[in-house]
Structure 1
């Protein structure tokens, strides 16, 4: 019999220049009023899936985190300390005996790394790791898929070295608009060419037979889950490639997926006013992603 799921997150503060890591009580304040994350959305983050008691796809997340810090001219994060804090937070979240679920079906969780430029008064970055439950909405979308609205992306993004920044205000506003119109998510397109870019918080993957395709172009954040999927799927005989895609390509594909670290893979069931067919190999694609993340 499963125990009651834990609601309280586990937080560890990371000293930005490689000092100690320490546990932080989640009901106490952590970020000051003049922190750049609050005043300007100036910082970076990574979201990782915790599965079977460990952070999935960790090396790719660490590499992207370093690149994001470089893009924003933040001090290079000491990744050994971030990984130490992650391991401690995961261990605390599950408890000494894996509390929170059964041994046969361990509880998944979400781990978030957050790194800001810090307080204006000190200039010292703020950094922490949090492990918490995955929301019920995310679990439901894995099972039922999502209805997606396409929309041009009308704001500037870094093109040479895209970063996963905290400044998600425009993205969240677009998501709210989509949900008001009856959609669950969005796929952004290039306003000049109409080419597909990415989801609000995910990478687009289209499946045609044994071909897996993801959009190529400027301003697309490299997807860690998509990279793991393509590496593993290529070994299994799939032909994987990044190329320029338009909405018509997605409409004609066998299936379209939004892949990301915590949601893993959700199938697009509707794109704008077009219902997309359910493929016969949906479980095979899910299994590919699960296997890729388990490596």
Structure 2
């Protein structure tokens, strides 16, 4: 009995030492902070968000809500690989929430493994930088959002040409800095295939036709249809924006012919006083 007591006494320091080391390891693991880098886009009742966790996991969120109530919120979970130029996502699972009304707590949640075609996401991105802004651009055409053949490079070019970037972004992922960006954009970052979409100089056009359009569903809503003197041969493309010098009036191109193009305005009850045939519009005014 005495022998057993002596052995127990001799083993106690070793036991306490093991417990201390185990507690130290547990505490160390708890203290490891999981950092997150977030890229996002936020539009009217819709948005995108991609969180890259420092432990190698990602969360990709895409949501769309209706003005009349209801909507969807899709989250895709998985792991990622990233270097200074590319990001590759490897999706694993999906959480889909469907809302039937404006009450966010009334959601039908479905969890499933990744692979359903209608729920797939973009998985390969190029990392593009402009000042402190960092963009994730994919060459995959996004048919689910627009009837046009559009991808992130096309949308980014539209916002670049219209001088909305680097302050405002379209439907693509960006990690934005609060500092103002004064440097020129390095076009060499963009793949050669898409570089032709980016205007090296602001485009100048003249108005060749003006047509007033009244919304048939609401007689008080007035749009303006503007014909311009430049078209496809001059580098005009759909979604390009042209502004008056004071930026109080602008049009968005929606039809492009060889030597002319047509654009639509937002609802305006009247045109600017000096806006007439041969008035000048530009993608960007210095």
Is this a same-fold pair by TM over 0.5? no
**More strand per residue:** 2
Structure having the higher helix fraction is: 1
Q: Which protein is bigger by CA-based radius of gyration?
A: 2
